[in-house]
Structures are given as structure tokens and as C-alpha cells.
């Protein structure tokens, strides 16, 4: 397949690497050119402009860090909408807001192009191994056309229906669910500590039974060990996601008090200097609010 790929951060490079490795005709572009070096060495063509990355492409994958970057790359002058061939697909794989996806889908449709949203679940090492979870939504024929790509990148694809922002909402919801588990762990660890119990015992109780899943095992251990300094995902970035999920709730008129609690805890952690720590640090922020730190 003739594929363009824009956005070569850590995730983007890992994903593009899978496509290149499978022998697809790949053209890549990144705002800072150096990040293309490894892919170029592996045989990918490196475009000097977004427009060049779009030439004669069937699918244009974007893996960008936020809505502002997506807006600039897709809707700026000489961007994807201006440059993609009619009939081609913009496969948006980054995490974005529902309104950004909805309005971009309309802009592409007006230009005779199709947007498929397919945010991913997993980190760069999982991407490099082709084991991501992929949540895909968009017009059925277009999603179907992307399946060969999904198979290279992911372990499993979830069909989220015909509205691209549906996939977006699932990705944000999954992140919210994790944040709520972190907040709840923060509350219960403080509660048992103040009743004289070592956090490790609470950790063993929960991960032995109802909560024997990565969300609690991995993050519960970070909390018990207070290993917040080596951030997998920072509090600052988590706040950005929390605001995206709240905006998705606003758009759909869904009041989400747990999302508010998470948002405020992240904000408190940042106010107390934890912006660049792993977002599990909200458990320590909860302890602070309980007079424990």
C-alpha cells in the first residue's frame, strides 16, 4: 500500500517501523527532520514537506501529540487536507479530543477525503512488537481498507462503529478508567495507613482477588514503592487527557464526577510540584490532603 506517515515521536517511529518492515511503500515526514533518520536507513522515503508526504498516497497515517499539532498539520495551509488525493484516507492514530476529530472529519469529507480514527492502547515497546490494541471507527469501507495496517501494528482491533469520534471517546474513557482506579487507590491507601495498616498488605489483598489486573498490579506497586520519579506518563500529560475527557463529556452532556475528582487531584499534584512525576503520584497528593505527608 502507498502510505504516508506524519508524526515521528517515539510511538510514531515504532509504528512506522512496523509498516516499513512489512514492505509497504512508505513516505515519512516529521516537523524536526532528524527523527526520520532511522526510518530512512531502513528504506523509507523522507518527504521535505507535508504536501510531498501526501503525493499519490492511499492512506496517510498521523501520530501527533495533541490537537494543536493535528490542527496545524491537517488544516494549516499546505497541510493534509490541502494535499491528500481525493479518495484517500487520513488514519488518525494519536489521542485527540472528540471535537477535533469531528470537525476534522467534516473538513476531510468536504475535500473528498475520509477520516478514520484509530487510537492505540500500549506504549512504544508494545508498538514495536506489533502488539498494540487498536480502536478503529469510521466509514466501513475505509476502516476495512486500513485492516492490513492494523494487523502489522496491533494484536487486536476493536470495531467502534461508523463515527470516528466514537473511537476517540473509547480511548479517552479507557484513560479515565485508569485514572479513577489511581484516585481510588490513593484514597484507600491513605485510609488503611491511618488505621495502622502497611500499604503492602492492602496491595496484596486487592491484587489477589477482584483487582488482579495490570491497572492495579502495576500502578499499585508504583504507589506502594513511591516510585514516582521515573515517569511512564507524567501528571502534566494526564491533566491534558483529563481535560480531553471532560470536554468529551461536555460535548455529549455527560456529567462525570469521578473525572472531576481525578482532574482536581492532578491539578493539586501539579500545584505541589509533581507535574513531571508519574501520574500515580496522585496517590501521594491524596495522602498530602489527608495530612499524611
Judged by CB under 8 A, the residue of 51, 55, 130, 158 near its own copies is: 158
CA 159, 163, 166, 167: dihedral to nearest 10 degrees?
Answer: 50
Q: Judged by CB under 8 A, which stretch of 2-10, 13-21, 130-138, 222-230 contacts its own copies?
A: 130-138
For its own copies, the closer of residues 100 and 167 by Cβ is 167
Cβ distance 172 to 194 under 8 Å?
Answer: no
> Under the criterion CB under 8 A, does residue 103 sit at the interface with its own copies?
no
Tell me if residue 171 is catalytic.
yes
Q: Give the contact letters, 243-262, x = binds to its own copies (CB under 8 A), - = no.
A: x-x--xxx-xxxxxxxxxx-
Nearest distance from C-beta of residue 15 to its own copies, angstroms:
18
Q: Judged by CB under 8 A, which stretch of 31-39, 42-50, 81-89, 165-173 contacts its own copies?
A: 165-173
Alpha-carbon span 111 to 61, nearest angstrom: 17
Which of 128, 126, 54 shows the shortest CA–CA distance to 91? Answer: 54
Alpha-carbon span 179 to 282, nearest angstrom: 9
For its own copies, the closer of residues 50 and 183 by Cβ is 183
> Under the criterion CB under 8 A, does residue 271 sit at the interface with its own copies?
yes
Could you please report the per-residue DSSP string of 80-135? HHHHSPTT-EEEE-S---HHHHHHHHHHHHHTT-EEEE--EES-HHHHHTT-EEEE
> Under the criterion CB under 8 A, does residue 119 sit at the interface with its own copies?
no
Rounded (to 5) percent helix, strand, coil in the chain: 55, 15, 30
> Under the criterion CB under 8 A, does residue 268 sit at the interface with its own copies?
yes
19-48 residues in contact with its own copies (CB under 8 A) are none
Distances (CA, A) of 263 to 48, 146, 245, 282, 283: 40, 35, 10, 10, 13
> Under the criterion CB under 8 A, does residue 127 sit at the interface with its own copies?
no
Judged by CB under 8 A, the residue of 211, 227, 233, 237 near its own copies is: 211
63-102 residues in contact with its own copies (CB under 8 A) are 98
> Under the criterion CB under 8 A, does residue 201 sit at the interface with its own copies?
yes
Amino acid at each position: 500500500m502507498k502510505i504516508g506517515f506524519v508524526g515521528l515521536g517515539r510511538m510514531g517511529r515504532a509504528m512506522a517501523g512496523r509498516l516499513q518492515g512489512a514492505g509497504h511503500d512508505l513516505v515519512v515526514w516529521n516537523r524536526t527532520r532528524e527523527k526520520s533518520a532511522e526510518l530512512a536507513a531502513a528504506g523509507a522515503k523522507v518527504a521535505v514537506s507535508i504536501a510531498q508526504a501526501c503525493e499519490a498516497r492511499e492512506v496517510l497515517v498521523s501520530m501527533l501529540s495533541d490537537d494543536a499539532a493535528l490542527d496545524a498539520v491537517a488544516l494549516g495551509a499546505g497541510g493534509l487536507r490541502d494535499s491528500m488525493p481525493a479518495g484517500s484516507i487520513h488514519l488518525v492514530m494519536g489521542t485527540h479530543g472528540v471535537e477535533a476529530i469531528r470537525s476534522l472529519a467534516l473538513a476531510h469529507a468536504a475535500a473528498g477525503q475520509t477520516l478514520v480514527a484509530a487510537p492505540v492502547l500500549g506504549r512504544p515497546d508494545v508498538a514495536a512488537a506489533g502488539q498494540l490494541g487498536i480502536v478503529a471507527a469510521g466509514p466501513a469501507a475505509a476502516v476495512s481498507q486500513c485492516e492490513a495496517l492494523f494487523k502489522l501494528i496491533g494484536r487486536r482491533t476493536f470495531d467502534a462503529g461508523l463515527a470516528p469520534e466514537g473511537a476517540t471517546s473509547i480511548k479517552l474513557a479507557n484513560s479515565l478508567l485508569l485514572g479513577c482506579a489511581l484516585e481510588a487507590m490513593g484514597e484507600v491507601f491513605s485510609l488503611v495507613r491511618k488505621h495502622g495498616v502497611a500499604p503492602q498488605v492492602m496491595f496484596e489483598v486487592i491484587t489477589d482477588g477482584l483487582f488482579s489486573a495490570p491497572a492495579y498490579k502495576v500502578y499499585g506497586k508504583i504507589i506502594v514503592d513511591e516510585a514516582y520519579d521515573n515517569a511512564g506518563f507524567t501528571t502534566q500529560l494526564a491533566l491534558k487527557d483529563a481535560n480531553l475527557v471532560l470536554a468529551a463529556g461536555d460535548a455529549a452532556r455527560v456529567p462525570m464526577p469521578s473525572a472531576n475528582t481525578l482532574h482536581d487531584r492532578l491539578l493539586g499534584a501539579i500545584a505541589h510540584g509533581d507535574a513531571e512525576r508519574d501520574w500515580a503520584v496522585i496517590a501521594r497528593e491524596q495522602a498530602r490532603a489527608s495530612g499524611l505527608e
